[in-house]
């Protein structure tokens, strides 16, 4: 949008093109179901015989996933107000977004392995407790640095919640009911995404900006109680062990890379601090790859990148994450600061993108069945590029109608590209490597999201 200047940050991830979530779950669940031993299953409160409580347990999982989805979008409408009240700079706002994403991407790898070894229910509850602590902290602080710290804590908790909430489903449901359980869980996540900005806008209209953190607390607390009372414990003692060195390389490398990109516009690309950060990020990430290649059972299975089917689709999914987070990064502040809408109006005016995404995501499977995944993904990226071009040539004088048009077009491009690319990447994996492959894919997508916020 020429002439409007650089906007303050808005949405992050969203990790996350959530409408591809259901197909992603099926592959993870097929792996997890093989790791639940007979003794564990019989010891759990949910045996093979149908138990009505298993659906109540599913409610606990849905609450956990809803909180993650809700939180990824509710913050976007609060950022312009937050910047005004706390004196946060554009760089501060970027770190409020990327602190969550960087920690989420780095911690998700060891989180799943810790759940396998020490108990998925235990680690899921621990993740929810950490997320709750971050939400409480975010509702009480009043400085940009403290908000960044709160978001970091929330990212750490969220990294445990997402993979482990999925991993307990096989112990609750048999093969016949499992697809329905996955569909219910993915629906909960999909509902949280469009509701976030609307509810966030309504909160900001009546309360202070910290209320977007405070609203998480009752949902998370309810999810914790439900998990304690209803979920069985499962573990896989044979899972690969967590390596501190790999976790450090992932977190420090990605953090250094994002720091360099965020600081470059203000300091200049030749500034020694920027150059050092970018170089350190490259060295640390290279060390991560070398370290993982040297062990028998890696946390990050980079050998999968040699498979062309997985690589092509993983690159496409990462590119979509990069574009999505970059686009929605500037939208809330543009709508509020340039066009003068309030927070609630901003939330409502972001819905065309969600509508386009949801409609296209529903159409994508049938299109893939007829034409194959690669043409559909390519077409989706072209539609997304067209939406981006329309957005880049839209000015404030064109009014919201033009904005709604290109938002819907961009959303359609996202819906067409993200579902087939995710399915294609996961479908290219051998069954026995579904867990490690999904971890690698999610790490790449989260990295793309973090870099997208930093660059744009």
* Sequence ranges of the domains in the chain: 16-237, 244-294, 303-456
How many CB atoms within 10 Å of residue 340? 9
* Buried/exposed code over 221-246 (b: 16+ C-beta within 10 A; e: otherwise): eebbebbeebbbebbbeebbebbeeb
Percent residues over pLDDT 90 in the chain: 15
Does pLDDT of 192 surpass 80? no
The predicted pLDDT at position 137 comes to 95
From the number of C-beta atoms within 10 Å of its C-beta (0-12, 13-18, 19+), residue 57 rates as buried
Which range has the worst mean pLDDT, 17-31, 59-73, 284-298, 326-340?
17-31
pLDDT band at 347 (very low <50, low <70, confident <90, very high): confident
pLDDT in tens, 167-176: 677 677 777 7
The predicted pLDDT at position 126 comes to 95
pLDDT in tens, 66-121: 888 778 777 877 888 888 888 888 888 888 887 887 888 778 778 877 887 888 88
Which range has the worst mean pLDDT, 33-47, 158-172, 337-351, 383-397?
33-47
d(CA 252, CA 259): 10
Does pLDDT of 272 surpass 80? yes
Q: Decide: pTM greater than 0.75.
A: no
If one looks up domain 16-237 in CATH, what number appears?
1.20.1250.20
Nearest to 443 by CA among 321, 295, 282: 321
The predicted pLDDT at position 445 comes to 79
pLDDT band at 135 (very low <50, low <70, confident <90, very high): very high
pLDDT band at 41 (very low <50, low <70, confident <90, very high): very low
Which residues 6+ apart lie within 8 Å of 163 measured at CB?
A: 28, 108, 111, 112, 115, 439
Mean pLDDT of 29-47: 42
Mean pLDDT of 142-169: 87
So what's the architecture of 303-456 in CATH? Up-down Bundle (1.20)
Mean pLDDT of 383-387: 91
Contact between 307 and 301 (Cβ < 8 Å): no
d(CA 173, CA 154): 29
Which residues 6+ apart lie within 8 Å of 335 measured at CB?
A: 341, 345, 346, 349, 350, 403
Which of 14-18, 48-52, 380-384 is predicted most confidently? 380-384
**Dihedral of the CA atoms 429, 434, 435, 439 (nearest 10)?**
30
pLDDT in tens, 423-442: 788 777 776 565 566 667 77
């Amino acid at each position: 949008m020429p002439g409007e200047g650089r906007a303050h940050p808005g949405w992050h991830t969203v990790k996350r093109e959530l409408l591809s979530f259901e197909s992603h779950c099926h592959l993870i669940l097929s792996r997890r179901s093989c790791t639940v031993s007979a003794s564990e299953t019989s010891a759990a409160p949910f045996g093979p015989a149908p138990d009505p409580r298993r659906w109540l347990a599913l409610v606990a999982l849905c609450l956990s996933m809803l909180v993650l989805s809700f939180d990824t979008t509710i913050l976007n409408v609060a950022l312009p107000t937050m910047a005004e009240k706390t004196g946060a700079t554009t760089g501060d706002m970027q770190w409020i977004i990327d602190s969550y994403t960087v920690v989420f991407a780095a911690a998700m790898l060891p989180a799943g392995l810790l759940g396998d070894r020490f108990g998925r229910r235990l680690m899921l509850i621990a993740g929810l407790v950490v997320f709750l602590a971050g939400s409480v902290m975010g509702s009480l602080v009043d400085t940009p640095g403290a908000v960044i710290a709160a978001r970091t804590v929330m990212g750490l908790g969220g990294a445990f919640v997402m993979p482990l909430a999925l991993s307990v489903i096989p112990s609750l449901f048999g093969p016949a009911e499992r697809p329905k359980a996955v569909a219910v869980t993915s629906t909960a996540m999909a509902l949280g995404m469009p509701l976030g900005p609307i509810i966030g806008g309504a909160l900001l209209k009546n309360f202070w900006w910290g209320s977007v953190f405070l609203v998480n607390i009752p949902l998370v607390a309810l999810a914790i109680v439900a998990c304690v009372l209803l979920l069985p414990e499962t573990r896989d003692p044979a899972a690969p062990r967590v390596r501190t060195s790999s976790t450090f390389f992932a977190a420090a490398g990605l953090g250094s890379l994002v720091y360099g990109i965020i600081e470059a516009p203000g300091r200049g690309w030749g500034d020694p601090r920027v150059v050092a950060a970018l170089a350190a990020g490259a060295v640390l990430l290279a060390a991560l790859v070398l370290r993982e290649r040297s062990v028998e059972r890696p946390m990050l299975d980079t050998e999968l990148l040699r498979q062309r089917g997985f690589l092509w689709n993983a690159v496409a999914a990462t590119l979509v994450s990069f574009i999505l987070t970059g686009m929605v990064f500037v939208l809330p502040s543009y709508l509020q600061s340039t066009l003068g809408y309030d927070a609630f109006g901003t939330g409502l005016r972001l819905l065309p993108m969600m509508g386009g995404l949801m409609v296209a995501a529903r159409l994508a499977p049938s299109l893939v069945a007829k034409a194959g995944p690669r043409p559909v993904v390519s077409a989706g990226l072209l539609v997304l590029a067209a939406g981006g071009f329309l957005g880049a040539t839209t000015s404030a004088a064109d009014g919201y109608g033009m904005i709604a048009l290109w938002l819907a077009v961009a959303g359609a491009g996202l819906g067409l590209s993200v579902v087939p690319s995710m399915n294609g990447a996961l479908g290219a994996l051998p069954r026995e490597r579904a867990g490690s492959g999904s971890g690698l894919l999610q790490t790449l997508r989260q990295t793309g999201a973090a870099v997208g916020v930093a660059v744009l």
